[in-house]
Structure 1
Amino acid sequence: MLVRVEENVPAEITALTGLSAAELQQGTEPREALNSFLLFIGKAPLVGHNIAFDLEFLRMTCKRYGFPAPTNRQIDLAQLARRNLTRIANYKLVTLAQHFQLAEKVEHRALPDCRLIQQVYCKLKETAVQ
């Protein structure tokens, strides 16, 4: 879901994501969006690429709105890739997606990115060093 923002959206964020300030003004109120997200994730493990970056934003937002920060198990694709792939230029999500022939680019939109992360995670699990 898109989340309403109070501040201006920097031009580089609009260029990266395609999201305009006008679109985000129509989004869900932040407290409601956060509550929905926390209910959605429950206690399930969280998988992400450089997940610590995202979780820091989540922790700050939880604190801001008075929610307890999630303590879910975390799985970081970048760390998993570093352990399991040696012949790769870098560990960016787009590079991993290209390596596994899943996508040529990262869309920087929530649902497509989640699907791509899930696909990369499955491929990394297949190649995991035992």
Structure 2
Amino acid sequence: MPGNSIGPASPCPCGLDASYGDCCGAYHSGRKQAPTAERLMRSRYSAFAVGDTAYLLRTWHSGTRPPSLELDARVRWTGLEILATSDGTAFHQEGTVEFRAHSLVRGRHPDSQHELSRFVRENGSWVYLDAV
């Protein structure tokens, strides 16, 4: 599953001080579920970084999920900044995460994506709903 030379012992792409295997890799493999909207956001960013489209689709709300997803192989994700969060804890049913995701296109063109994402609980688990 992991792509872009990211293995279980590699630093987690999400930016937290943990290995991929102990952090987002545990969510990607299904060993754990993201406990907050922010952790789901981080794990989804990491899924983009490692090329795990199955996880991205699995954690997308059933009402907004596309039938399939194809990632651009020319994009290498290089960093994630969490700018703000609202709600999205164990005590909430919805939450938002504002973030900026940095990338390199074709290995040399820096780019970034700024988004305010909405998350909700579906069947007890946090899922990505849409972008505001």
Higher helix share: 1
Give the TM-score normalised by structure 2: 0.25
Larger Rg: 1
Per residue, is there more strand in 1 or in 2? 2
Q: TM-score, normalised by structure 1?
A: 0.25
